[in-house]
Amino acid sequence: MAGVARGRPHPKSTVFHADKPVRAAVLLQPGEPVRRMYEELVVLMGVSGAEVLREALVELHKRKAPRGSTARLLREAS
């Protein structure tokens, strides 16, 4: 049966463990404007979709995060 969850359900959490990777799943549906933007950026930038999303997160963080918040991390990501 497609779409049936298996195993124990995992509760959503806002706790991020520094020693474990984070997987962000984004479903972009056909015809969705954001999907067209995503596809265009992958082609124009010549990088993977994951790299497009990483760069978008860095830019969004620069605009939205309080001053000084993880400034060191942003410098390292650039």
| Residues 2-31 pLDDT 10s | 556 677 776 777 888 889 998 888 999 999
Residues 6+ apart with CB under 8 A from 26: 53
In this prediction, residue 43 carries a pLDDT of 97
Residues 6+ apart with CB under 8 A from 48: 42
Q: What is the pTM of this model?
A: 0.65
What's the DSSP call for residue 2? T
Rounded-to-integer distance, Cα 75 and Cα 58, Å: 10
Structure token pair of residue 34? 């954001």
- Residue found by looking up tokens 């997987």 in the block: 23
- Compute the average pLDDT of residues 28-36: 95
